[in-house]
Amino acid sequence: MSRAWETWDHVLKVDPDKELYGEETFADVCQTGTDAIEIGGTFDVTTEKMERVMEACARHDVPLYQEPSNPAVVVDDEALDGYLVPVVLNAQDPFWITGAHKEWMRIDNGDVDWDRTTTEAYIILNPDADVAELTDADCDQSPEDVAAFARAAEKLLGQEIVYIEYSGMLGDTDVVEAAAEATAEATLFYGGGVHDYDSAYQMGQYADVVVVGDLIHDEGADAVRETVEAARDASADAADVVDAHSD
């Protein structure tokens, strides 16, 4: 699979189970300037809801990925650029580490499109999030623990994406910084509670990719556009710092 995410600063995650903001349409959702749209949610996701969002977004020029929350909702659609499949490193329910994946392989019986499929190594850190409840995640992790998870993901497990997930709350920058320092090759995603320019910039200083979810449903495309701008600025400023050090 091409590692498109290596060039991304921002991802917009659309939950097929949630309504769009006000009178907004998927045309608005697709025109925030984000690098890619990930379609996925935790509860009550069905293939019908997934397909409805995919069809609507496919009419617009934005890379489209499915993040399947369980093997039953993987949608085979040409419009998709790929599948980003969560593996939850700190799940205490093993279904979310290998069980769901094994089930998917059994259902698809060798027909998986490997050129469009990769995994995201999740570390879930908000105990109140639906996804923490679903996976029984052990969210009691220090920055050192998260760095160790990130290193294990990259070096031992060969993961190309490490995903710090605070879904629903803005996370601890010390944790995100520790994960950034622990990863060299992997692309670091951060998601959770990003709601404006400052919060996106704060996380974008350390994460390679800032993921924004609820904001599109709660405040709409203009609010998301600000976070795209911040993620770009943070990435450009971080590149300047690296250049200055190498001069």
Contact 59, 83 (CB under 8 A): no
Applying CB under 6 A, the span of 81-89, 142-150, 188-196, 200-208 interacting with ligand 1GP comes to 188-196
User: Which of 53, 89, 132, 212 is in the footprint of ligand 1GP by CB under 6 A?
Assistant: 212
Shortest CB 214 distance to ligand 1GP, Å? 4
Dig out the tokens for 116 from the structure.
């469009």
Q: Strand 187-191 and strand 161-165: pairing?
A: parallel
Nearest residue to ligand 1GP, scored by beta-carbon proximity = 191
Applying CB under 6 A, the span of 89-97, 104-112, 176-184, 206-214 interacting with ligand 1GP comes to 206-214
With b for 16 or more beta-carbon neighbours within 10 A and e for fewer, the 153-165 pattern comes to bbeeeebbbbbbb
User: Is the torsion defined by CA of 48, 217, 222, 129 positive or negative?
Assistant: negative
Give CA 179 to chain center in angstroms.
15
Judged by CB under 6 A, the chain residues 90 through 109 that form the site for ligand 1GP are none
Shortest CB 111 distance to ligand 1GP, Å? 27
Judged by CB under 6 A, the chain residues 30 through 89 that form the site for ligand 1GP are none
Question: Which residues face 85 on adjacent strands?
Answer: 119
Applying CB under 6 A, the span of 53-61, 146-154, 178-186, 192-200 interacting with ligand 1GP comes to 192-200
With binding defined as CB under 6 A, does residue 196 bind ligand 1GP?
no
Shortest CB 195 distance to ligand 1GP, Å? 8
Q: Which of 74, 120, 65 is nearest to 97 (CA)?
A: 120
* Calpha distance 11→6 (Å, rounded): 12
Give the contact letters, 159-178, x = binds to ligand 1GP (CB under 6 A), - = no: ------x-xx----------
* Calpha distance 180→184 (Å, rounded): 8
Applying CB under 6 A, the span of 96-104, 175-183, 208-216, 228-236 interacting with ligand 1GP comes to 208-216
- Which CB, 15 or 154, lies closer to ligand 1GP? 15
With binding defined as CB under 6 A, does residue 13 bind ligand 1GP?
yes
Phi (first) and psi of residue 142, to 5 degrees? -80, 170
The residue type at 62: V
With binding defined as CB under 6 A, does residue 214 bind ligand 1GP?
yes
Shortest CB 211 distance to ligand 1GP, Å? 4
Contact 213, 191 (CB under 8 A): yes
Binding site for ligand 1GP (CB under 6 A): 13, 165, 167-168, 191-194, 211-215
